[in-house]
């Protein structure tokens, strides 16, 4: 104890030195771990630099400028493609009154356009066709969350009907969309169990529709061309054609359905019955077959006159070739194709570009 009292400063300095040494060891270990992390990061960056330095093309200023030009071209291409994906509507906030006005106006325009194009609609006995919006037309109160989806469907159905009416199909027999409100529960107007899907790459929303119409091949081709040329993007997923056209072999009127067995008919004789008898049996005079004197008579000397047994046979006129059958006579133009209207069921998806995908493509 006396030694401690005499060397108090020495002992205090030793304790402080020991504490400083412990702190130095802790600081060394901590900074060594950080130094190892920095060294590993430096090694990674060094390897990346070596890879870039040996890569082809080399990242010099010329190649960097070329890459920027290509990036600019890609941006211009995306902007050019966007004209094929024009949204059918840009409504983001709709109230009940606005939606009701939009719905009635759209249905009125579609009915008018159908009448002008001569397209028949599946009208009910009591009212005009509702274009799958019968619950909405009979109501004035709507759930706020369904107003924007319903307004979008109204605009998309109008765009689809514009294509059908421009193609002048004979009749619009059916139209179905995916249900949005709780009142949309009819299987004839809604695609029950179907929902809109979102593309994971582009972020676009695909909304399904099913349309049924009647027409010829020209109308169906015009409908497909209309969807192709539409500024609103529609994808035709499936086409089902139902037709009752019968194909049968053509048989001319009055002609048998089979060819009879060929028979030989001798040509009609141009001689009188007496001449035929004399040609066959000879005359009664000299040279006849039964004449009283030689001349080929049966009991006379053989003669060479007409009708004699040894006389040359008379020449025969040529007749028709045995087995030949006359071709049937045509009785007017032949019908090659008799086309009838058929029913087409087409499954279409409307593409909606949401704002998030639009801003991403703009970058």
pLDDT of res. 167: 93
Structure tokens at 117: 């194009």
Q: Are strands 171-177 and 342-352 parallel, antiparallel or unpaired?
A: unpaired
pLDDT of res. 334: 67
Flag whether pLDDT at 46 surpasses 70: yes
pLDDT of res. 265: 46
Q: Which of 130-139, 142-151, 291-300, 343-352 has the lowest mean pLDDT?
A: 291-300
Mean pLDDT of 4-12: 69
Q: What gap in Å lies between CA 310 and CA 262, rounded to an integer? A: 35
pTM of the model: 0.55
Neighbours of 255 (CB within 10 A): 13
| Average pLDDT of the residues of the chain | 75
Looking up tokens 């050019």, which residue turns up?
80
Q: 67-94, pLDDT tens digit by residue? A: 889 988 988 887 777 777 777 777 778 8
pLDDT of res. 315: 54
pLDDT of res. 318: 54
Q: What are the E-state strand segments in the chain?
A: 171-177, 197-198, 205-215, 234-242, 342-352
pLDDT of res. 177: 93
- Residue 200: pLDDT band by 50, 70, 90 thresholds? confident
Q: How far is CA 13 from CA 9, 10, 238, in A?
A: 6, 5, 91
pLDDT of res. 323: 54
Cα angle 330-333-337, degrees, rounded to a multiple of 5 = 130
Flag whether pLDDT at 263 surpasses 60: no
Within the chain, what is the greatest distance between any pair of CA atoms?
199
Angle between helices 217-229 and 144-167 (to 10 degrees): 130
Q: How far is CA 241 from CA 77, 152, 217, in A?
A: 37, 29, 10
Q: 222-258, pLDDT tens digit by residue? A: 999 999 888 888 899 999 988 764 333 333 444 443 3
pLDDT of res. 79: 79
Q: Do residues 191 and 208 touch, judged by C-beta distance below 8 A?
A: yes
Domain ranges of the chain: 96-247+342-362
Q: Do residues 177 and 190 touch, judged by C-beta distance below 8 A?
A: yes
Quickly list DSSP for 286-302.
TT-TT-SSTTT-SSS--
Q: What gap in Å lies between CA 234 and CA 130, rounded to an integer? A: 22
pLDDT of res. 175: 92
CATH topology for 96-247+342-362 is: Alpha-Beta Plaits (3.30.70)
């Amino acid at each position: 104890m006396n030694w401690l009292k005499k060397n108090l400063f020495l002992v205090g300095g030793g304790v402080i030195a020991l504490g400083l040494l412990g702190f130095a060891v802790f600081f060394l270990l901590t900074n060594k771990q950080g130094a190892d992390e920095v060294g590993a990061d430096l090694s990674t960056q060094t390897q990346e630099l070596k890879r870039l330095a040996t890569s082809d093309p080399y990242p010099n200023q010329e190649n960097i400028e070329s890459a920027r030009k290509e990036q600019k071209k890609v941006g211009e291409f995306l902007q050019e493609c966007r004209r094929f994906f024009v949204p059918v509507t840009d409504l983001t906030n709709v109230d009940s009154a606005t939606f009701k006005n939009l719905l009635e106006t759209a249905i009125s325009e579609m009915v008018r356009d159908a009448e002008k194009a001569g397209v028949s609609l599946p009208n009910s006995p009591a009212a005009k066709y509702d274009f799958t919006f019968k619950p909405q037309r009979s109501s004035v109160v709507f759930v706020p969350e369904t107003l924007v989806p319903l307004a979008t469907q109204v605009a998309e159905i109008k765009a689809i009907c514009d294509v059908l009416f421009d193609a002048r199909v004979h009749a619009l027999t059916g139209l179905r969309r995916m249900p949005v409100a709780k009142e949309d529960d009819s299987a004839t107007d809604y695609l029950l169990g179907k929902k809109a899907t979102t593309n994971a790459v582009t972020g676009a929303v695909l909304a399904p529709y099913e349309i049924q119409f009647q027409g010829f091949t020209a109308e169906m081709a015009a409908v497909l061309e209309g969807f192709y040329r539409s500024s609103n993007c529609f994808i035709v997923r499936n086409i089902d054609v139902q037709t009752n056209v019968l194909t049968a072999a053509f048989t001319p009127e009055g002609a048998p359905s089979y060819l009879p067995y060929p028979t030989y008919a001798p040509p009609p004789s141009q001689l009188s019955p007496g001449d035929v008898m004399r040609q066959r049996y000879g005359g009664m005079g000299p040279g006849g077959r039964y004449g009283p004197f030689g001349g080929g008579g049966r009991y006379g000397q053989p003669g060479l006159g007409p009708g004699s047994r040894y006389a040359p046979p008379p020449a025969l006129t040529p007749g028709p070739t045995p087995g030949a059958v006359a071709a049937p006579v045509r009785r007017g133009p032949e019908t090659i194709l008799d086309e009838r209207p058929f029913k087409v069921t087409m499954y279409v998806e409307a593409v909606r570009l949401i704002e998030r995908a639009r801003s991403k493509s703009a970058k």
